[in-house]
Amino acid sequence: MASNILLTGASGFLGSHILKELLQKKYNVVILKREESNLYRIENLKNFSVFTLKKDYSNFNELFTHFKIDTIIHLATEYGRNLSFSKVLEANVLLPIKLLEASNKTHLKLFVNTDSFFSKFSDYQYLQPYIKTKKIFLDYLKDIEDVKVINLQLEHIYGEFDSDSKFITSVMKQMINNVENIELSAGEQKRDFVYVADVVSAYMKILEKENELPFFETFEVGTGHSLSVREFVEKMYSTTKSESNLLFGKLTTRINEIQDSKANNLSLKNLGWNPIYTHKAALERILKLEN
């Protein structure tokens, strides 16, 4: 079973939640950060180590010399909005490959990769650099020997303390502030909205069941059910008791938008994982924790 864990992307939304849970479960955790990373989300957490990666990646070997890492949870990613393809390739392919190369002939037993539902839609134009680079790295992972690789394909995550630029966070804050008019698309596209605490518990289940896992498998992480963006927004509206006007159809829906996505989570459920939060309970919890 995992004991010494390297966590990449710990300063992000999901990473900060996973770090908190790992520490509560008494794992030894090292977070990998870039020199420019902002750690505001985790500044109040204690009892973990920090390894700062140089821009040229020249100190990767020092990481595995100083720490006996047996598990890597890889969350760091670049979606490629307004970035060159080479920058996305560096973040999503070269960096994790260099990480794995540096770990060669060490104590590493398990590599948990983080993917998203976008990867299921190879023709989705909006995030092509992300989709293409994630596929390149996943193909690389499939050829790895001696280390178990688990690929977690996440559906649409939401939760407390996400970035204000994220759709759900942005709309919910506008509702809380009773912004007079909230402009939205028609919201007909459907998503599998999964609460962050349930996603975190999926990662914990993988660690718990490490010895039962094959050497490579993809698990889809979501509730297994999708609902329209409009329906979800209306649930938020009800929860916040907002007085805002919801202007559905005011914004144009993105061309070639993914119309429906939901997880096939049967294999993950067979490991003993189940999402426990209803949308209502999750939204109420977010409202309580953020206000």
* Percent of residues in the chain assigned helix, strand, coil, to nearest 5: 40, 20, 40
* pTM confidence score: 0.96
Identify the three-state secondary structure at position 196. Answer: helix
161's torsion region: left (phi>0), alpha (psi -120 to 50) or beta?
left
Q: What is the CATH number of domain 4-154?
A: 3.40.50.720
CB 260 within 8 Å of CB 189: yes
Beta strands in the chain (DSSP E): 4-8, 28-34, 49-53, 71-74, 110-116, 148-154, 156-158, 181-183, 190-191, 193-195, 216-221, 227-228, 245-247
Backbone angles phi, psi at 271, to 5 degrees: -80, -10
Q: What pLDDT score does 274 carry?
A: 98
Q: Give the number of residues written for the chain.
A: 291
Determine the Cα–Cα distance for residues 233 and 260; give it in Å rounded to an integer.
16
| Boundaries of every domain in the chain | 4-154
Q: What pLDDT score does 2 carry?
A: 66
Q: For the chain, how far is it from start to end, CA to CA, in angstroms?
A: 38
Q: What pLDDT score does 246 carry?
A: 98
Q: What is the pLDDT along the chain (291 residues), one digit of tens a residue?
A: 668 999 999 999 999 999 999 999 999 999 999 988 899 999 999 999 999 999 888 898 899 999 999 999 999 999 888 889 999 999 999 999 999 999 987 889 999 999 999 999 888 888 899 999 999 999 999 999 889 999 999 999 999 999 999 999 999 999 999 999 999 999 999 999 999 999 999 999 999 999 999 999 999 999 999 999 999 999 999 999 999 999 999 999 988 899 999 999 999 999 999 999 999 999 999 999 998
Residues with catalytic function:
130
Radius of gyration of the chain (CA): 19
Q: What pLDDT score does 1 carry?
A: 65
* Residues ≥6 apart with Cβ < 8 Å to 229: 184, 185, 187, 188, 189, 190, 191
Q: What pLDDT score does 122 carry?
A: 81
Question: Which tokens is 266 given?
Answer: 């049967």
Pairing of strands 110-116, 148-154: parallel
Q: What pLDDT score does 113 carry?
A: 98
